[in-house]
Chain A
Amino acid sequence: MVSVLILGFILIVIGFWGILVKKNMIKIVLGIAISETGLQLSMISIGYIYHRTAPILNDAVPRSSAVKMVVDPVPQALVLTAIVIGVAVNALLLSYVISLYKHKKSLNISDYKELKW
């Protein structure tokens, strides 16, 4: 699972790189989305334990021995929440981009510097 963790980190870095380098606001939002994905991957990898199964109680996983058979369910719950929040934020960010575009017909973030100093 270390590979997933590393992949996650790489995605985070790529996302951050996008935020810092791309001038196009949609690409910046995509950068945020990519880094969030990377973050979610690394979160899952933290809770993973080798040779264990998904934390779902069913016939294969009896209630009594579940603790020894499943991976840690908490990070998975967290990831679900994080995904939801991420989606909400991304949607908001994109709608911001649309509204901003309506004002200036530009997607370049450097064009929106009225407020400064």
Chain B
Amino acid sequence: MIQPIYIIVIALGGAFLLPLFGESARRTANVLFLAALAFIALISGEWLYRFLFIDDTPHQIFTAGLKPPLSINLLMGKEEALFLFPIHILALLGGLYALSHLDEMGIKSKALFLTLVLGLSGLIMTRDIFNLFIFLEITSISSYALIGMDTRLKSLSAGFKYAVIGSISSTFLLLGIIFLYSASSTLNLDVMISALSGAARTPLLSVAIFLVFFTFFIEMKQFPVNGWALDVYEGTNPGVTAMIAAGSTGALFFAVYKLLPLFGSGLMMTLAVSGITTFVVSNLIGLKQRAATRLLGYSSIAQMGLLLAILAIGNMTRMDRQTLYFIIGALFFNHFIAKGALYWLAGIVGRDSIDEWKVLKGRTWHKILFGLLLLSLAGFPPFPGFWGKWSLVMNLADAKMFVWIAFILLGSLLEVVYLMRWFGIAVKGDVTADESTSEWKEISGSYGGYLDEDGPAGGYSDEGAGGGQADRGDAAGAAGATAERSPLRESSAAMEIPPWVFALASIGLGYIFSTKLTGPMPAFLPLVAAAVLFALDWLPVKAKGLVALAMIAWYAYRVIPGSEGLPLFFNALFLGGGFVLLMGMLFRTARSTGLFPLTVLMIGSMSLLATTQSMLIFFFAWELMTVSSYLLIIRGRLSRNAALVYIVFSQAGAFSMLAGFAAAHSAASLAAGVSGAAGAVSGGAGVSGAATASGISGAAGISAAGAAAGAAGLSNPSVSPAWALSELSHAGIYSSIVFILVSIGFLIKTASFGLHIWAPGAYAESEDDVSPLISAVLSKAGILGFLALFLYMGLNNPPHIGSLSLSAVIGWIGVLTALFATIFAVFQEDAKKLLAYSSVGQVGYIVLAAAMMSHLGWVAALWHSVLHLLFKGLLFLAIAGVVYRTGTRNMYRMGGLIKRMPFSFVSVLIGIIALAGVPPLAGFGSKWLIYEALIEKGWYLQAAVAFFASTIAFLYCYRLIHSIFLGMPKPRYKNIKEAPAWLLIPQYILVLTIFGLSAFPLTLLKRLSAIVSPIIPATLNWHGFTAVSSLGYWNGTAVMIVVMAIFIIMLLYLLLFTAKPQKVKPFNIVYAAERPESPETTHYAYNFFTPYGRAMGPILKPLAKRFWSAVSEWSHSIAASVRHIYTGDGQTYALYIFIVGVLIYFISAGGR
């Protein structure tokens, strides 16, 4: 083992040695510089290895061979090594990255870089409070100097503010230290803490402690004394900022951790409150920030606030050490890696404003890197932050700290907004507000003023005007984008490699952290599949598609035979539906990097959702599904805003769900504690050593929960042993709130009434061959969620608020969604938006059916899920073909395509017949089942509304076929071709399936009934080919035979007995006085349902849109006013320090 003191020796020695080399020997100096950094990293790495795998007794170092208090002592323990090693790696990579910048500033800057590393290492290792001061000063002075050597004005002014504030805070620290010394007559931290722990708190002592506390309050950049830090983050060279934002902050955080026992309980609360405040406020202000590095600064400050708060809360609630370390480790390293690498990337991009990051357009690798880092920062799986956040929220819930959870989730959501907005800008470039038809513009960058109120019939811009079919082929087509590349800053491999190392490290760490929670897990399988597909990117696009298909088929073969009941149903739905709809993507010819990996990832995570038995993996899969679908949606040409709205709503839903899970978890562990099974359940989410070792305690918890569920009378053999959300059945006193919170998540995913505004944009703006998947398959995840939720919370005793049954509320939301979405669909000019609204409405029916919680209702829900997947997939695919050929989505621009695209016409025809629920197709079965169920349940009013809605659906169905395929063909599309074969093949698979199901509905219906009947006693019976309910019967086969017979008779009659028809040319008609010049005048398609629009005027107001616009506008306005406290004047910042210091002192009464 190399003594840790050599870390200091090497850094110091290197710093002294380097200036001896003149500029002429720069190469040698650089080698020496990097070698020193590498050797330092090697030392801490070696120690870390020892602590992790060999022996974790800490190693004390005493200088001058004396024991404390006479000597200065350093400590190298596991925790120290855990912080030191990453910081040293950061320094090594950061040194490599910043080499060219340091070269510019001269050789002394490298010496300063080494002293910075020295200061950071000392901050972590020292156990002497005065030395802490020294190392803090070394860190600060070398930072000031590094910043100041860069003589740009903004760097200088930031550095000056930093130095002034740093000097003030070091005055506080020194004053505090000297008083502490006089009270304890030692400078050794451990001796001091034990000496002071029993001592009475004199006023002098509490002032002393407060001064030390407040120094770190400033140094950790707590709100509002952090303006200087923001300026530093913004003004400094990104290579240096990465060291400060990730490295210094990390070392300081560790220093706070060491000092924590000194602060005492009163200051703990202060720290927790200020940390959370900083987290929320910084993320709020981030909404308004457009400067990239400053935005990262806000995020950085927010994350540090959160970490401090966790540290304080963990101490206040006496959280289990292992758990606390897990949470802090996951969140800290997540931030450390992402922030360091993002600053590096910011340096490579070299653009100040996030709006200019559109230069990334066409740079696939940079985009991928940026995406990985941002997703990691935002806490998406599989990155460490995800596991940390889960564990944090669960443990806070155990401590009943629900308000804290709410604030943490709120702050995280705000962070998602600005990070993902930035991502959208970087990958999509400019999408002006009127170009996009997003439903929620405020949030996506155009502030101020209301959304231009395009009533549903309002004028959409003619986006397709110039867009021939050529540029519609593939939005990601790299070729076009490469042409408009503008150069980034000169970047060498030395600059490109470090961020990639960090990004990959983050994924690896994510896996390591996940194994601590769940044991070695198969849940990474979808990710692995996506990675493999991504590695195959060099293959031709069709080959990649076939590999993707093979993967899904193989996965289905592995998963489906072993499952039964609802998991089987949903697996079949997701995998089967995904398989067929993925075939449509094979029509592509462009490279389409990332398309197949993301699709497979989405389908795989949905299957995981259906299969998993643990709440954690459920949430993991849910988030993975969200993020992969987000990335799929953002591939669309104009989808930037739509994708942003989608991810924001989805995350809001996911956080709501997480809060619900947390409440249930807290109630469950409470209950388990009472019944004596505490270990099993609470260990599930905790990280006690046992859980890690065995890796199966999660499963143990679940089987315990399953057993308890059985005891409670919820025996459900079809979902044995337990499905993902079984823990919710223990929600006990929290059941209403849990039910509401979790429902919100699923309501958002199903795009229910009021929460739907993400859906039309997301469904319509994603690429044409992706829309079918998103709309037909993805929305079923919400249905899965609802069924799982009802299974454990609704069936026997649905939660109530007063006398209001919450499941009835969900039912009403479902039926209202059906009604309003249908009405909105009628007035769309855009074919894909029409289908999108229709999709929202149809899913509303499914929600309604599921909410009935009757046998018939559930069978209806499952049946309609299948049917909706079939016909909506079919319609979207058919429209994809049409849009591909015509280059527009506006239906009024089409017309008369029946001759040119007969196969697509048949597809749409079958699709709308199935959708409209007209016999003989199976859609009728849906209607029959839903109405029967509604009447059986006694929900007559809902039945009436649903009936009304389904009548309106005829209007848009007609519109679809009329406007696109009937009437006069436009001259422009005279020579248009049929849709590509690869789009038609899946369509006809779907058509055949629809026919099969229509002719023999019982093959499926019986199975669905068998799935539901173990859960809810059956009320549906069979006689031969006839389904019999308590109210009536349906024989799909007979209906099919009758209709077919009539159809054939009519056809024969027409063919045989009518006079020979005469074919007419489109303009072969003569009016009284004039003849039409163009097809438009004879084919009336624009603003088709205006009369109905007038009649329905009042209910067509986009109230939901306006509401969410107002929410967004208000939060941006608040952010805009709050951020004015950061005036930019160093003196104001100093003033805040004194005001805030005095205030906090009196509020916390000096820590007593």
Contacts and interface: CB of A to CB of B under 8 A. Distances in A.
Interface of A: 12, 16, 19-20, 23, 25, 28, 32, 35-36, 39, 42-43, 46-47, 74-75, 78, 81-82, 85, 88-89, 92-93, 95-97, 99-100, 103-104, 109-110, 112-117
B178 A85 contact: no
4 nearest A-B pairs in the assembled complex, by CB-CB distance: A116-B1128, A113-B1128, A112-B157, A115-B231
Interface in B145-185: 145, 148, 151, 153-154, 156-160, 163-164, 166-168, 170-171, 174-175, 177-179, 181-182
Contact of B148 (A16, A20, A92, A115): A92
A95 B145 CA distance: 10
B137 interface: yes
B55 to A, nearest CB: 35
A89 B164 CA distance: 9
Given A32-B168, A92-B144, A114 B1131 contact: no
Nearest to A38: B171
A88 B112 CA distance: 14
A112 B171 contact: no
Contacts of B148: 92, 95-96, 99
Nearest to A32: B167
A97 B160 contact: yes
B922 interface: no
23 contacts: A16-B168, A16-B1138, A19-B168, A19-B1134, A32-B167, A42-B178, A43-B174, A46-B178, A78-B174, A78-B178, A89-B170, A96-B156, A99-B151, A110-B1131, A112-B157, A113-B1129, A114-B153, A116-B227, A116-B231, A116-B1126, A116-B1129, A117-B1126, A117-B1128
Contacts of A100: 153, 156-157, 160
Contacts, number: 127
A110 B134 CA distance: 31
A25 B1128 CA distance: 15
Contacts of B130: 78, 81
Contacts of A74: 181, 187
B157 A75 contact: no
A99 B163 CA distance: 14
A92 to B, nearest CB: 5
A114 B155 CA distance: 10
B174 A115 contact: no
A55 B900 CA distance: 104
A92 B145 contact: yes
A96 B149 CA distance: 9
Contacts of A93: 160, 163-164, 167
Interface string B109-146: 00000000000000000000010001001001100110
B174 A39 contact: yes
A28 B164 contact: yes
A96 B170 CA distance: 18
Contacts of B153: 100, 103-104, 112, 114
Nearest to A81: B134
Contacts of A12: 171, 175
A42 B175 contact: yes
B32 interface: no
Nearest to B145: A92
A100 B163 CA distance: 13
A35 B704 CA distance: 65
B354 to A, nearest CB: 14
Nearest to A75: B178
Interface in B183-237: 187, 227, 230-231, 234-235
Contacts of B1126: 116-117
B1127 interface: yes
A28 B1130 CA distance: 10
Interface string B416-459: 00000000000000000000000000000000000000000000
B224 to A, nearest CB: 13
B195 to A, nearest CB: 15
B159 A96 contact: yes
Contacts of B294: 115
Interface string B1113-1147: 00000000001101111110011001000000000
B166 to A, nearest CB: 8
A43 B156 contact: no
A87 B1071 CA distance: 99
Contact of B163 (A46, A96, A113): A96
A41 to B, nearest CB: 11
A92 B163 CA distance: 8
Contact of A89 (B167, B235, B288, B1134): B167
A114 B157 contact: yes
B1130 A43 contact: no
Contacts of B144: 89, 92, 96
B203 to A, nearest CB: 15
Q: Interface centre among A39, A81, A85, A97, by most B CB within 10 Å? A: A85
A55 to B, nearest CB: 14
Given A115-B154, A115-B158, A46 B1128 contact: no
A43 B160 CA distance: 27
Nearest to A29: B164
Given A46-B179, A113-B1129, 11 more contacts: A16-B168, A19-B1131, A28-B164, A32-B164, A36-B167, A74-B181, A78-B178, A92-B141, A112-B153, A112-B157, A116-B1129
A112 B1130 contact: yes
A84 B344 CA distance: 34
Given A46-B178, A82-B174, A117-B1124, A89 B163 contact: yes
B353 to A, nearest CB: 13
Contact of A75 (B154, B181, B1135): B181
A78 B187 CA distance: 11
B1129 A46 contact: no
A109 B230 CA distance: 17
B1128 A115 contact: yes
A1 to B, nearest CB: 12
B1129 A109 contact: yes
Interface string B293-336: 01000000000000000000000000000000000000000000
A46 B160 contact: no
Contact of B137 (A46, A78, A85): A85
B1131 A28 contact: yes
Contacts of B160: 25, 93, 96-97, 100, 112
B1051 to A, nearest CB: 73
Contacts of A32: 164, 167-168
Nearest to A97: B160
A28 B165 CA distance: 11
Nearest to B1119: A117
Contacts of A19: 164, 168, 1131, 1134
Contact of A110 (B151, B168, B179, B1129): B1129
Contacts of B234: 115
B1127 A46 contact: no
Nearest to B177: A78
A14 B174 CA distance: 17
A88 to B, nearest CB: 6
Contacts of B163: 89, 92-93, 96
Contact of A36 (B171, B179, B1127): B171
Contacts of A20: 1131, 1134-1135, 1138
Contacts of A47: 182
Contact of B156 (A46, A78, A103, A110): A103
Nearest to A112: B157
A74 B130 CA distance: 10
A46 B1138 CA distance: 24
Tell which of B130, B134, B151, B171 has the most Cβ of chain A within 10 Å: B171
Contacts of B178: 42-43, 46, 75, 78
A115 B134 contact: no
User: Most chain-A Cβ atoms within 10 A of its Cβ — which of B166, B289, B1127, B1129?
Assistant: B1129
Nearest to B158: A115
Nearest to B1134: A19
Contacts of A75: 178, 181
